[in-house]
Amino acid sequence: MVTALGLDVQTNWQKALDGISAIGRVTGAPQSPVQAVAEVKAEDWAIIQERFKEDTLKDSERRTLFALQAGMSALTDAGLLEQPRERWRFGVSLAAGLPLNRLEDVAQWVDPRGQFDLAQFGRQCRQVQRDGIMCNNSNRAAAVLARRFELWGPNCTVTTACASATQAIGTAFRMIRDGDADVMLCGGADSMINPVGLVFFVLLNAACTTADKVEEACRPFDRRRSGLVMGEGAGLVVLEEQTHALNRGARIYGEVAGYASSLDAYQVTAPPADGAGAVASMSAALADADLSAEDIDYINAHGTSTKLNDRAETLAIKEVFKEHAYKLTVSSSKSIFGHLLAASGGPEFVFTVLSVYTDEIHPTVNLTQPDPKCDLNYVAGQKISCKGVASSGKSVRAALSNSFGFGGQNSSVVFKKHQLD
């Protein structure tokens, strides 16, 4: 993981369990209407740049370097970084958001009349900023990961707004299940904390624009919530076919059991009030996992801290899980490290995995005045241990992670404890 909390899973997870939010005031943009963000700390960014000097000199694009850091950590944790491998059976499935639009690449070629000088740009186009959109297409991060770590099997990039990383993980899961790969490095990386990225979400009326108490700006399911708070970073995991993992003695955190996606095609920036697309996604993921609603003990919610999403997701959970919905534990990781946009499903999936693996669930930070229409158990205040709390009375047997994106994209993935057949 790479988030504003830190550069490794252990640091991120412990701070999440302690209810520590990394959201603060944006740096270097005092006039921005958006002041609350979750930026990767300058000292952590310096560590990444030093660790990947060659890649930094080539492009310095934040999301690509975030992906490299998270990918190296995931492969190291899996014991695969230095191990000989069947390169053609190891692949990458990565979510990537919109490349950086550098205003300098526009201003540099504006003539005295305020018009873009296309002829001059044509002569000097090699002078564009290295981390901008003209030098970095959407699939660059996935390609760099594959080249750096010799993952020469299936390679794909998913760009479906805020559902991207969960869809990338689901795509990797199906590739392995279908026999196309033995191992997939998957998840997402994104960064839109820049002038154009910040304004984009203001124009969509989706961003929180409070300038006071920015550390409390993200409050999913709270009646005072006022919009999403942007974060940046990456979250990558190693998925591996069971027999392949057992044969090499891999540490197994659990099992990806099912995945599904849907498109509600309602509005670009709003879900249908009844959460129909989310209902379809969650229901199909449960069916794919061959699990019932009662088998799920925890949901890592999309939980964006927007008026429309939080209510629609709550209604969708109630529709899918019926009376069991009130026995579930639910929490939103975005309250801790912000909304990582296309990458958000990556770190959230890591936290979902750890909840199943450790039987602990992190709290939803800043949830102090619950919205009466959001009446599920959102784990407000402090972490909980699910021993004796979850519906099983024993542990978190299985969990579901949701990601819902602009344009009506919905995706859900189910993770459960690993048991040999």
Which are the catalytic amino acids?
162, 302, 339
Those residues whose C-beta lies under 8 Å from the C-beta of residue 156, and which sit 6 or more positions away, are: 92, 93, 94, 142, 168, 171
Residue type, 413: V
Strands (E), 11-125: 24-25, 36-37, 90-96
Distance (Å, whole) CA 404 – CA 303: 9
Strands (E), 287-359: 298-300, 329-331
Which one-letter DSSP state was computed for residue 409? E
Q: Which one, of 287, 290, 248, lies nearest residue 82 by Cα?
A: 248
- In order of 11, 17, 220, 325, 384, the CA distances from 364 in angstroms are 17, 10, 7, 17, 11
Distance (Å, whole) CA 293 – CA 313: 16
Distance (Å, whole) CA 417 – CA 32: 45
Strands (E), 191-316: 233-240, 255-263, 298-300
Distance (Å, whole) CA 280 – CA 271: 13
Which ranges constitute the DSSP H helices of 179-305?
195-203, 242-247, 276-289
CA-based Rg of the chain, rounded to a whole angstrom?
Answer: 21
Exposed, middle or buried, 22 (CB in 10 Å: 0-12/13-18/19+)?
Answer: buried
